[in-house]
Structure 1
């Protein structure tokens, strides 16, 4: 059988022709029987669709490819199998890190070795350098900066108390126990109970000038001989035996004068608040003159702050008080009449007032922080403001005072935090409050409305109170009270001079007579000049200079400097930049992706091999069936088919 040659259409013009045919067919070539030695092209199956059509419909122009869901295409979009070496090579060709491209492009093994050693050495040096930088940074050390500022300064709050808590003429309003006690502790009554020291004859100084030691068996006795049935339960000897501290210096004999004062404070605190205020000195009786920067202020500017030790204390606090200039003429001037003829001598052993300068809206404690100012004196107190800004968080412990102010309605200080903390511990543990801190309790109770607590007045309550105070003093329990993050302090300088003169005292008496009734005016006029002067005191409080110190804590190692040093270290040793770090991150992501895909490929490889074999059989069977069906019946018996 021969094959007719024709130039009308060649087989390579058919879609799917792969170049394996060397015969040329005409238009009727498919109608004539083939030679028995003719063989179809090896890729004929890819040149026909599943229906047996040549060049019609969907054609298989490429050789067999695995299904699109196989692992190789899922892990590599280029169609080539992805390997770990290829991932490394790609990173080495594209990275901007120093050293790695030279390792990849070096032709000899010793060149690769040299560059590898250099790279590893640089990375070790970089690690040591980074460790040093991080060690310095994470110490969170601080440094202090001192700057001078100049501006108009807000005037601080002033609290003062007359050292005499109860006026002798108003003591009759007190309880029977208080009145009996005041009569008992009169100076003449106390003096009569004090025994004079025994006289030791022939006691002369020795050669060194010191007196001869007293004869054994004799000792001097002073006010310790005073005897009184004290009712105050807040005494160490009343504590339970198992709660008493070990004997030490502070467990020795107590001073009688100190016990006399404590007993009075106890009896005085038993009175109700209204009675205590009525028994004390009023601001209207004491205030002779008040002026700030030459502008008059009256007693309505003061608010009362009762104290168990000093009676009625008064706080002057005004946000309008601003110092535009320095010096006494632009500060606060107070002239007080102390009513010394109303003093109870055993309680008020001196004449004067207790003054306290503190921050605005802070808790005043004149018993602890106050300064004694003497009568018959003009006292000048010059202030210099000091602002402190502390670092908190990792750089140290400080309190911004937000929670404290929200709870108690006042500015935070460390001392006020400790005071409130100890008293709240007493309230929570003992179920009562310290009767000497009634004003403090009222402030604490205002933060927890509805809670009513009585004073600690039974033996058990007093013992509980003493135990907590003792544990606080010895450090057995502590409060989380840190320094404020922002604090304003006032450094004080005090100068005094004799004041007033006799003529000026007479003028002050006339001023008092204009504001008092005739009875009191007659009492003043009957006073001797010396006695009259003892009733007056003047105090001037002012800023010495409007310059103030600003002490600010700053990190010794700033964040920006730390990041800069990190970048310099990494760039110095291995030539890394931020973009290079991004390249490293991309490389790590590709490694993770490769490991994930490799794991899935290993797991599904047997299934894919079986699926590919079955698919090949189905395609070949379908193509053979379609091809046999479409050929003429005369050729179906051909051995080729």
Structure 2
């Protein structure tokens, strides 16, 4: 038996020698023996129908290492071909300290790259922007121009007004008649006058319960002159400063405004100034334009206003010759006494189709003056989401194109309507699309002030944002005295020409009186160059990708192809584990078949 054993050993040794000779150029004998050893372990572990032998017991502790043999080969192969810096040194180095050092360097570089990438992505998702200013030149569409006479109601039409307005004027006449000699009265006589009046005429207004809170306050007459105000201070019903204070609602002009806006739209249009009386001459770029082109707009502050806009109005040259020229007749003889304190007109220049808000950015023009308004267009272009929440031009606010002021005023009016069940007479009623009554009682006004206060402290409650594209107009204003005495007779026929000439045309008034009736207005582009203020992304996706490549290239030497190498490595690992799982299942099925056969034979 021993020679046979020795023969087997010798034969096996020859086999080993042959194997060694065959792989000598690629592997050392130590590595070759290690592979054979692991193969033997694997062969023994997969043999079927055999009992647990002595050889299995010897190599039982090594079975776990065989699981990672194929995985180790995959990583070794990747290390040989990887373009990722540091990985080949980790896999190929023979000394443990070198492997640890390169591993630490690689982990540190990966950590630094991740931190750098976090900074880059944070910078990108902040969506920062910057404004770029460009100077462009082109023919320019002429903006809309809205004109209002500062007098809300023609005094000759007061018979068509409400009884409250007529009563107010009767009270005002009595008050004026009782104070004709007030300017000639000494200060010591003022006190005596106060008791003689006994508040009777003033109390006529104060008895109206629908006016404002605590209508026993006779100091509504704060529109009067200094001595009249001093007289009012002796009244016995002056307003308590601890209550709703110093609002313009308690002054007579605002009370008149309240009564005026309380009337129907048809009455307001009828008793206000008409466009054929206000617009006496109109021309654009040297071509005449009639008052028929003006569209009526009713303002809560000024009554009838008129807007001029035409699609064909385009300025192709700068200066007065390429703009709009108007001559206005103010009809000062129609001004309401003690109500209208100023003489002139209000002008607002705005984008076509937008609502004119005369208290926001209007221009006052005076009689007897030639006013020049030179415009410079500024076009603003904003970036939409995700850089800003601007709104496109297609949005509207009721009957008007969207603007941020229109949105804010409509929002304020809607809040007042919903909370107080009334509307604010100071705001344009067209912003609500409702016929609800105005706020007038004490409870209404308290609610109104509370809503206003809340909206002022919570600016974002209305969620009104800017337009993505809008145009604004910078204005340069100059004035000259107009007309000269010699020019009055020249313009009188053209001003008085028309179906409804103003009343002064029928009177032989002086040149100075005529000067106080007329306003000349020129609106034009001072230059056809315009500014385009456009938002641009401060950090675009192309910049992000470039910086990502620079970051990972700087820290770990990766490129796009290196990413695909990692993907290929992941697929190889998945393939390896899938193969092992399939192999185990196949071996298990084989073992089950062998056991079944043995059971049949034994039986």
> Where in structure 2 are there 5+ consecutive unaligned residues?
1-45, 49-66, 216-239
Distance 1:156 1:544 in 2: 14
Q: Which moved more, 1:83-92 or 1:371-380?
A: 83-92
Q: Classify the secondary structure of the residue corresponding to 1:511.
A: helix
* Aligned pair partner of 1:169 in 134, 138, 156: 156
Distance 1:517 1:100 in 2: 96
2:106 aligned partner: 119
CA contact (8 A) 1:106 1:112 kept: yes
1:106 aligned partner: 93
* Aligned pair partner of 1:148 in 125, 135, 143: 135
CA shift for structure 1 position 190: 8.2
Q: Report 1:183-582 matches (<5 A).
A: 183-186=170-173, 188-189=176-177, 191=179, 199=187, 227-228=202-203, 229-230=205-206, 231=208, 235=212, 251-253=244-246, 259-402=251-394, 404-405=395-396, 408-437=398-427, 439-441=429-431, 444-445=432-433, 453-475=436-458, 478-516=461-499, 524-582=506-564
CA contact (8 A) 1:381 1:541 kept: yes
Structure whose alpha-carbon radius of gyration is higher: 1
CA contact (8 A) 2:368 2:516 kept: yes
Q: Which moved more, 1:228-237 or 1:540-549?
A: 228-237
Distance 1:548 1:159 in 2: 22
Structure 1 pair 190–367 and aligned structure 2 pair: CA distance change class (3 A) = farther
CA shift for structure 1 position 168: 1.2
CA contact (8 A) 1:509 1:524 kept: no
Structure 1 pair 259–103 and aligned structure 2 pair: CA distance change class (3 A) = same
Structure 1 pair 569–521 and aligned structure 2 pair: CA distance change class (3 A) = closer
CA contact (8 A) 2:212 2:442 kept: no
CA shift for structure 1 position 581: 1.3
Q: Which moved more, 1:354-363 or 1:125-134?
A: 125-134
Question: Over the residues paired in the alignment, what is the CA RMSD in angstroms?
Answer: 3.7
2:169 aligned partner: 182
CA shift for structure 1 position 595: 6.2
Q: Report 1:79-94 matches (<5 A).
A: 83-94=70-81
CA shift for structure 1 position 348: 1.8
CA contact (8 A) 1:382 1:544 kept: yes
Distance 1:587 1:196 in 2: 107
Structure 1 pair 249–378 and aligned structure 2 pair: CA distance change class (3 A) = farther
* Alpha-carbon displacement from aligned partner over 1:63-100 (angstroms, at most 9, x marks no partner): x999xxxxxxxxxxxxx998433443343344322221
1:613 aligned partner: 591
Q: Which moved more, 1:543-552 or 1:100-109?
A: 100-109
1:59 aligned partner: none
CA contact (8 A) 1:233 1:462 kept: no
* Alpha-carbon displacement from aligned partner over 1:218-250 (angstroms, at most 9, x marks no partner): xx9xxxx99352448574668xxxxxxxx9999
Q: Which moved more, 1:353-362 or 1:425-434?
A: 425-434
As a proportion of its length, which structure holds more helix? 2
Q: Which moved more, 1:226-235 or 1:267-276?
A: 226-235
2:17 aligned partner: none
1:134 aligned partner: 121
CA shift for structure 1 position 197: 9.2
Structure 1 pair 466–309 and aligned structure 2 pair: CA distance change class (3 A) = same
Distance 1:395 1:237 in 2: 51
CA contact (8 A) 2:211 2:255 kept: no
TM-score in terms of structure 1 length: 0.70
Q: Which moved more, 1:82-91 or 1:247-256?
A: 247-256
Structure 1 pair 108–413 and aligned structure 2 pair: CA distance change class (3 A) = same
* Aligned pair partner of 1:157 in 122, 144, 156: 144
* Alpha-carbon displacement from aligned partner over 1:180-199 (angstroms, at most 9, x marks no partner): 21232348358559799975
Distance 1:279 1:424 in 2: 28
Query: Number of aligned pairs?
Result: 503
Distance 2:350 2:178 in 1: 38
Structure 1 pair 249–528 and aligned structure 2 pair: CA distance change class (3 A) = farther
CA contact (8 A) 1:391 1:554 kept: yes
Structure 1 pair 611–452 and aligned structure 2 pair: CA distance change class (3 A) = same
Distance 1:513 1:466 in 2: 47
Distance 1:190 1:392 in 2: 64
CA shift for structure 1 position 272: 1.3
CA contact (8 A) 1:234 1:466 kept: no
* Alpha-carbon displacement from aligned partner over 1:380-422 (angstroms, at most 9, x marks no partner): 00011111222343434433354x32x6353322111100111
CA contact (8 A) 1:509 1:525 kept: no
Structure 1 pair 579–147 and aligned structure 2 pair: CA distance change class (3 A) = same
Distance 2:575 2:181 in 1: 99
CA shift for structure 1 position 287: 1.4
Q: Which moved more, 1:120-129 or 1:367-376?
A: 120-129
Distance 2:358 2:343 in 1: 16
* Alpha-carbon displacement from aligned partner over 1:525-550 (angstroms, at most 9, x marks no partner): 32222112211110000001011111
CA contact (8 A) 2:504 2:514 kept: no
* Alpha-carbon displacement from aligned partner over 1:275-310 (angstroms, at most 9, x marks no partner): 111111111112111111011111121110011221
Distance 2:277 2:306 in 1: 13
